[in-house]
Structures are given as structure tokens and as C-alpha cells.
């Protein structure tokens, strides 16, 4: 299983966004987590297609686009054309989740589904064969800097057990409150893709990435 850090540019310094992405690339980071928020599904509004299209021109990283928007099926093709390599939609935001996932796969990118802390794993368990990744939100979606919700650990474990039982090649991503205190918890529960915002971008980005990747490596060695 591949374990990866997925820095969330929601916490980046947008005055230095291109520069900070280059630092991530130099430090060997391969995934870039891009949160798109519409002010409807979640209260906040972030950025959209122009920003993704702009940074796509300068980066070869894997663009992991997380749509926190209502009826995301309206925008699948647009985000693929802007440079998304993977599109994550919320189970709670789709009128027809199965059809939306089909649209994503038909567009030629990886398909993923996300669930809020209050949504049970059972709501999406029947779709595990149709996705490349499940994102478990470990805070309420829409705001950065929140504290990890401990009750989500059990959901990660439950999902990992289902994936392993069915012998599926599905990643588990976690997003929210991931830091020095919670990284080992989520990895031991079964997550392998860790989204981090302020933990990466607050202070020295290069030093932060080295610290986090070393910690991921050490925990992985213990798990192996």
C-alpha cells in the first residue's frame, strides 16, 4: 500500500502559491489536494477552475480535486479540462451518486467519493467497486484548522475492513485535523492518503514536508 502526504492548497499563501507548489515538488510530494467550495454545500467559498488551470500549466503533480459543491455532476467535464487527475464528490451532494461516479470515470480520471463525519460508511459501501478512493472527512467540511473528530477513527477502521475483505484496490484518504498528534491514529486505522493544510504550509514548507514524510515513513515501517 502506498502512503502519501496530500498537501491542501487551501492553507497555502496565495501570494506565493506557485512558489510553494514548486517547493512541494522539489521535496518529492506527488499529490496536490485542491478543495473547491461553492458557498452552498458548505458555507465557505474557495477557488475554482481558473486557479486549477493556471497551476496546471506549471506543475506535473497529481491534482486531487475535492468538490464540496452541490450537484457536482454539472462541472465534471469542466474540471477535467482544467487539469484534474482525480475528482472527489460528496455522497451527500449528489442527486444520483452512481451516475456521477460513472461520469467521472467516463471523463478519463480517477473517481472518488467523500462522506461527512455524520454519514455512515454503510451509505457508500455498495459503491466500493466503482471508486478508486474514499475520502473520510474527519472534521466538518468547509473550514480549515479544525480539530480531528475522534469518532471518525472507527469509520476509517470499518472502511479498511470492508476494502480488505473484498480485496479491492481502493485508497482511504482522510482530511481534517491531521497533524503530529493524529497522523499515527489515522494510519493505524487504515488510511493511506493524508490531507494536511496548515501542518504543511505554516512556517517553513520544505522543512514541514520533510518532517511529515519522515514520520509517515517511520509509521509505515511499524505497520509493515
Q: What is the pLDDT of residues 119-145, one digit of tens each?
A: 999 999 999 999 999 999 999 887 666
CA distance linking residue 5 with residue 21, whole number of Å: 14
Q: Which residues have a Cβ under 8 Å from the Cβ of 92 and sit 6 or more positions away? A: 41, 115, 116, 119
pLDDT at residue 224, as a whole number: 84
Residue positions in the annotated binding site?
A: 8, 33, 35, 66, 142-145, 175-177, 197-198
Residue positions in the annotated binding site for a divalent metal cation?
A: 33, 35, 66, 175
- φ, ψ at 119 (rounded to 5°): -90, 125
At the top level of CATH, which class does the domain 4-223 belong to? alpha beta
pLDDT in tens, 40-77: 888 778 888 999 999 999 999 999 999 999 999 999 99
CA distance linking residue 147 with residue 173, whole number of Å: 17
The residues carrying an active-site annotation are 35, 175
CA distance linking residue 43 with residue 90, whole number of Å: 15
Average pLDDT of the chain is: 95
pLDDT at residue 143, as a whole number: 66
Sequence ranges of the domains in the chain: 4-223
Largest CA distance in the chain: 46
Burial of 169 (0-12, 13-18, 19+ CB in 10 A): exposed
Give ∠ CA 105-132-17 in degrees, rounded to 5. 90
For residue 199, pLDDT beyond 80: yes
Q: Which residues have a Cβ under 8 Å from the Cβ of 68 and sit 6 or more positions away? A: 35, 36, 37, 38, 41, 42, 90, 93, 141, 142
Amino acid at each position: 500500500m502506498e502512503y502519501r502526504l496530500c498537501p491542501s492548497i487551501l492553507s497555502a499563501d496565495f501570494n506565493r502559491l506557485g512558489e510553494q507548489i514548486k517547493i512541494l515538488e522539489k521535496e518529492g510530494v506527488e499529490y496536490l489536494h485542491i478543495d473547491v467550495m461553492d458557498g452552498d454545500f458548505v458555507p465557505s467559498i474557495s477557488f475554482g477552475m481558473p486557479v486549477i488551470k493556471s497551476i496546471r500549466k506549471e506543475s506535473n503533480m497529481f491534482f486531487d480535486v475535492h468538490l464540496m459543491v452541490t450537484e457536482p455532476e454539472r462541472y465534471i467535464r469542466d474540471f477535467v479540462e482544467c487539469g484534474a487527475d482525480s475528482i472527489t464528490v460528496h455522497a451527500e451532494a449528489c442527486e444520483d451518486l452512481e451516475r456521477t461516479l460513472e461520469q467521472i470515470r467516463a471523463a478519463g480520471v480517477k473517481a472518488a467519493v467523500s462522506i461527512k463525519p455524520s454519514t455512515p460508511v454503510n451509505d457508500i459501501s455498495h459503491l466500493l467497486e466503482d471508486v478508486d478512493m474514499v475520502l473520510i472527512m474527519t472534521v466538518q467540511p468547509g473550514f480549515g484548522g479544525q480539530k480531528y473528530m475522534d469518532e471518525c477513527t472507527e469509520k476509517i477502521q470499518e472502511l479498511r475492513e470492508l476494502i480488505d475483505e473484498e480485496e479491492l484496490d481502493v485508497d482511504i484518504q482522510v482530511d481534517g485535523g491531521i497533524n503530529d498528534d493524529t497522523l499515527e491514529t489515522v494510519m493505524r486505522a487504515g488510511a493511506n492518503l493524508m490531507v494536511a493544510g496548515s501542518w504543511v504550509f505554516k512556517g517553513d514548507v520544505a522543512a514541514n514536508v520533510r518532517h511529515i514524510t519522515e514520520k509517515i515513513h517511520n509509521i509505515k515501517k511499524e505497520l509493515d
